Structure 1
Amino acid sequence: MEKATPINWEFEMITQHALDILLIVDKNQNIMFVTPSFELVLGYNPDEALGTNAFDAVHPDDREFMMEAHRKVMITEQPLTNEYRVFHKNGDLKYFESRVMPVPDHPDRLVVVSIRDITIRKSMETEIKKRKNRYEELQNSLKSFSRDLSSVLKIADMEARLLNEIKTVLPGSEPEILLFNRKQQNIEEDSLSELEPVFPQLIIGKLIYMEDRILIRIGDRNDLSYVLSLNVSSVSESMDLIWVETFVYYAVMVFESLNVIENLLKQLESALDKNERPQWILRLLFNLSEKQRLQLSSDLHDTVLLDQIDLYRGLEALLEKSEFNKEMKEDLGGVVRGLLDTIHQIRTTCNELRPPLLREIGLERALENLFDYTQVSSTYKITFRTDNTTGLSLGEEKTIGLYRIVQELLNNATKHSQAMNLHFFMKKTNDTLMLEYIDDGKGFETEKLNPSFNSMGLSSMRERVQSLDGRIEIISQPGTGVRVVIHMPIHGIDFV
Structure 2
Amino acid sequence: MEKTSNFSWIFDTITNHTLDIIAIIDQNRRVRFTTPLFFEMFGVKPEDLQKLDIFDRVHPDDRDWLMGRHRRVIATGKKSSSEYRVIDKDGEIRHLECKTTPIPDTEDNLTVVAIRDITDRKKMENELQQRKNRYEVLQKSLKSFSQDLSTVMKVTDLEERLLKEVKTVITGSEPEMIILNQKTKSRFPELEPSLPLGKIEQVGKNIVIKIGERKGSPYILLLNGSSIYETMDSIWLETLVCYTVMVFENLNVIENLMNQLEEALQSNETPQWVLRLLFNLQEQQRQNLSSDLHDTVLQEQIDLYRRLEALLNRNEIDEGIKIQLKGIEQGLLDTIHQIRMTCNELRPPLLRELGLERALENLFEYTQVSSTFKIAFHSENTGGLSLNEELTIGIYRIVQELLNNAAKHSKAAMLNFKISKQDTLRLEYSDDGVGFDATKLSPSFNNMGLSSMRQRVQSLNGDIEFYSQQNHGLRVLIDFPIIGF
Q: What TM-score, normalized by structure 2, do the two folds share?
A: 0.59
Please name the residue that 2:311 is paired with: none
Aligned-residue offset at 1:230: 0.8
Provide the rounded CA distance (Å) in 1 between the counterparts of 2:10 and 2:43.
Answer: 25
Q: Quick check: 11-20 or 423-432, which moved more?
A: 423-432
Please name the residue that 1:190 is paired with: 186
Please name the residue that 2:34 is paired with: 34
Q: Does 1:213 align with 2:206?
A: yes
Aligned counterparts, 1:8-157, within 5 A:
8-50=8-50, 52-157=52-157
Aligned-residue offset at 1:247: 0.8
Q: Does 1:431 align with 2:356?
A: yes
Please name the residue that 2:310 is paired with: none
Letter in 1 for 2:74: M
Provide the rounded CA distance (Å) in 1 between the counterparts of 2:177 and 2:483.
Answer: 40
Question: Max radius of gyration: which structure?
Answer: 2
Please name the residue that 1:222 is paired with: 215
Please name the residue that 1:262 is paired with: 255
Aligned-residue offset at 1:41: 2.8
Distance 1:120 1:466, change over 3 A: same
Is the Cα–Cα contact under 8 Å of residues 41 and 117 in structure 1 kept in the other structure? Answer: no
Please name the residue that 1:317 is paired with: none
Aligned-residue offset at 1:121: 1.2
Is the Cα–Cα contact under 8 Å of residues 212 and 248 in structure 2 kept in the other structure? Answer: yes
| Deviation string, structure 1 residues 293-312 (Cα, Å, up to 9, x no partner) | xxxxxxxxxxxxxxxxxxxx
Aligned-residue offset at 1:92: 1.1
Report SS of the residue matched to 2:57.
Answer: coil
Aligned counterparts, 1:355-370, within 5 A:
none
Letter in 2 for 1:27: Q
Distance 1:117 1:19, change over 3 A: same
Aligned-residue offset at 1:39: 2.2
Is the Cα–Cα contact under 8 Å of residues 178 and 187 in structure 1 kept in the other structure? Answer: no
Aligned-residue offset at 1:3: 8.7
Aligned-residue offset at 1:429: 4.9
Distance 1:54 1:267, change over 3 A: same
Provide the rounded CA distance (Å) in 1 between the counterparts of 2:358 and 2:127.
Answer: 61
Aligned-residue offset at 1:97: 0.9
Aligned-residue offset at 1:492: 7.8
- For residue 204 of structure 1, the aligned residue among 197, 202, 211 is 197
Point out where structure 1 has 5 or more consecutive residues left out of the alignment: 287-397, 435-463, 474-488
Is the Cα–Cα contact under 8 Å of residues 38 and 45 in structure 1 kept in the other structure? Answer: no
Please name the residue that 1:240 is paired with: 233
Aligned-residue offset at 1:52: 2.3
Aligned-residue offset at 1:409: 5.3
Distance 1:492 1:63, change over 3 A: farther
Provide the rounded CA distance (Å) in 2 between the counterparts of 1:244 and 1:264.
Answer: 30
Distance 1:87 1:78, change over 3 A: same
Report SS of the residue matched to 1:269.
Answer: helix
Distance 1:3 1:280, change over 3 A: closer
Provide the rounded CA distance (Å) in 2 between the counterparts of 1:59 and 1:23.
Answer: 19
Provide the rounded CA distance (Å) in 1 between the counterparts of 2:215 and 2:152.
Answer: 20
Report SS of the residue matched to 2:23.
Answer: strand
Provide the rounded CA distance (Å) in 1 between the counterparts of 2:129 and 2:200.
Answer: 29
Aligned counterparts, 1:303-342, within 5 A:
none
Distance 1:282 1:261, change over 3 A: farther
| Deviation string, structure 1 residues 214-253 (Cα, Å, up to 9, x no partner) | 1111111112111111111010100110011111111111
| Deviation string, structure 1 residues 348-374 (Cα, Å, up to 9, x no partner) | xxxxxxxxxxxxxxxxxxxxxxxxxxx
Is the Cα–Cα contact under 8 Å of residues 178 and 221 in structure 2 kept in the other structure? Answer: yes
| Deviation string, structure 1 residues 425-457 (Cα, Å, up to 9, x no partner) | 9633540798xxxxxxxxxxxxxxxxxxxxxxx
Report SS of the residue matched to 2:27.
Answer: coil
Provide the rounded CA distance (Å) in 1 between the counterparts of 2:51 and 2:186.
Answer: 74
Distance 1:471 1:232, change over 3 A: farther
| Deviation string, structure 1 residues 171-225 (Cα, Å, up to 9, x no partner) | 21111111223xxxx4526332x31xx4133111122211101111111111211
| Deviation string, structure 1 residues 92-126 (Cα, Å, up to 9, x no partner) | 11111100011123333211000011111111111
Provide the rounded CA distance (Å) in 1 between the counterparts of 2:358 and 2:142.
Answer: 42
Is the Cα–Cα contact under 8 Å of residues 33 and 50 in structure 1 kept in the other structure? Answer: no
Is the Cα–Cα contact under 8 Å of residues 15 and 36 in structure 2 kept in the other structure? Answer: yes
Is the Cα–Cα contact under 8 Å of residues 261 and 270 in structure 2 kept in the other structure? Answer: no
Provide the rounded CA distance (Å) in 2 between the counterparts of 1:165 and 1:143.
Answer: 11
Provide the rounded CA distance (Å) in 2 between the counterparts of 1:88 and 1:154.
Answer: 59
| Deviation string, structure 1 residues 370-408 (Cα, Å, up to 9, x no partner) | xxxxxxxxxxxxxxxxxxxxxxxxxxxx9xx99x959x9
Please name the residue that 2:175 is paired with: 175
Report SS of the residue matched to 1:99.
Answer: strand
Distance 1:465 1:13, change over 3 A: same
Is the Cα–Cα contact under 8 Å of residues 279 and 466 in structure 1 kept in the other structure? Answer: no
Is the Cα–Cα contact under 8 Å of residues 214 and 232 in structure 1 kept in the other structure? Answer: yes
Q: What TM-score, normalized by structure 1, do the two folds share?
A: 0.58
Point out where structure 2 has 5 or more consecutive residues left out of the alignment: 301-342, 360-388, 401-459, 461-479
Letter in 1 for 2:135: Y
Provide the rounded CA distance (Å) in 1 between the counterparts of 2:14 and 2:160.
Answer: 67
Provide the rounded CA distance (Å) in 2 between the counterparts of 1:281 and 1:43.
Answer: 84
Is the Cα–Cα contact under 8 Å of residues 85 and 94 in structure 1 kept in the other structure? Answer: yes
Letter in 2 for 1:166: V
Say what the alpha-carbon RMSD is for the aligned residues: 3.9
Please name the residue that 2:336 is paired with: none
Is the Cα–Cα contact under 8 Å of residues 30 and 49 in structure 2 kept in the other structure? Answer: no
Letter in 1 for 2:87: F
Please name the residue that 2:469 is paired with: none
Provide the rounded CA distance (Å) in 1 between the counterparts of 2:128 and 2:103.
Answer: 38
Please name the residue that 1:477 is paired with: none
Distance 1:14 1:145, change over 3 A: same
Q: State the aligned residue count.
A: 324
